[in-house]
Amino acid sequence: MNPQRTRRRGPALENAILDAAWDVLVEHGYHGLTYEAVAARAHTSRPVLYRRWPTRDDLLLATITRYRAAQPVEIPDTGDLRADAIGFLRNADAGLTGMITLISVQLMDYFRDTGTNFTTLRDALGSPTPTPCEIIVARAVARGDLPDVPRSRRLLNLPFDLFRHDVLMTLRPLPAHSLTEIVDEIWLPLLRR
């Protein structure tokens, strides 16, 4: 006798589908991310997926967005600009390196097939506003640790951009001294000049 299964609906069904899609993406890459594979893994039907995500790219973006939301990176608030920046990079290193590595490896076919790149994907996923580094600087300005002068978004977000670059180049977590170097030797001197 088969146990009676409860039919999933709404958020429960959507979460199950996106969890299944993430597992398929991790195991089989972009080309393996098919409606058939995801539906089978989620124990649902392809039409259920098509109603929510009309294209495979829609499903991919929803999957990455869900995974990213489930892996938030804490922004420390120690009262010290340097400690907050290094703490944030350590948290990002612990929480995001795996995702960055996975995306760089498993989505190369996606980038090739769609003619896009990491920047296009990042823009499609949307970035938090303000970004973590912008929050850290705003807190430092509010405390009087930094002068309240205009700074470009590129400068404000430089620590995370350098971190992401190094992870993409090495495909592994960064050593602590690299994180400290980004903050002490590059970012803080530029912020304070």
* Per-run averaged pLDDT (10 residues), the chain, 193 residues: 59 94 94 96 95 95 90 94 98 90 86 89 82 97 96 96 93 95 98 91
Residues whose CB is less than 8 angstroms from the CB of residue 14 and which lie 6 or more positions away in sequence, other chains included: 52
Domain boundaries, the chain: 10-67, 73-192
pLDDT given at position 6: 57
Radius of gyration of the chain (CA): 20
Separation of alpha carbons 38 and 126, rounded Å: 24
Domain 10-67 superfamily per CATH: Homeodomain-like (1.10.10.60)
Residue 86: burial class (beta carbons within 10 Å; 0-12, 13-18, 19+): buried
Instruction: List the one residue out of 22, 92, 85 whose CA is nearest residue 59.
Output: 22
Residues whose CB is less than 8 angstroms from the CB of residue 94 and which lie 6 or more positions away in sequence, other chains included: 173
